[in-house]
């Protein structure tokens, strides 16, 4: 997978933006991550928000993934790649 990253929230969050068009089902993704022990805090038609590795993760239907707090761009891309590949 190929990604670009964007720094958000004054540099305390990073968003990985997939170069590929994706259509992730937030409810199915939330169920998968909840089964792995993540605490789900919000799910709707557009996104799933959950706690993962000490961060708040927002996974959007279009494949964008935001990690807060995170400031390491290569790590952001690594996490997003692993997370999205596990859903495809």
Predicted local distance difference test score (pLDDT) of residue 8: 72
Residue 82 has pLDDT above 90, yes or no: yes
- CB-based contact 71:14 (threshold 8 Å): yes
Residue 81, domain extent? 3-87
Let me know how long the chain is. 88
Is the model's pLDDT at 23 over the cut of 70? yes
Q: What is the mean pLDDT of residues 52-61?
A: 96
Q: Into how many domains does the chain fold?
A: 1
Report the CATH number at residue 42.
3.30.310
Helix, strand counts (H, E) of the chain: 2, 6
pLDDT for 1 beyond 80: no
Please measure the distance between the N-terminal and C-terminal CA atoms of the chain and give it in whole angstroms: 11
Q: For residue 21, what pLDDT band results from cuts at 50, 70 and 90?
A: confident
Between the alpha carbon of residue 45 and those of residues 14, 28, 38, 54, 65, the distances in Å are 22, 11, 19, 25, 15
Neighbours of 3 (CB within 10 A): 20
């Amino acid at each position: 997978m190929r990604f670009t990253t964007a720094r958000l929230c004054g540099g305390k969050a990073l968003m990985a933006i997939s170069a590929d068009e994706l259509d992730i089902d937030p409810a199915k993704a939330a169920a998968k991550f909840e089964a792995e022990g993540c605490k789900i805090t919000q799910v709707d038609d557009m996104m799933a928000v959950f706690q993962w590795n000490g961060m708040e993760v927002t996974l959007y239907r279009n494949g964008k993934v935001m990690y807060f707090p995170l400031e390491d761009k290569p790590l952001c891309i690594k996490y997003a790649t692993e997370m999205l590949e596990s859903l495809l």
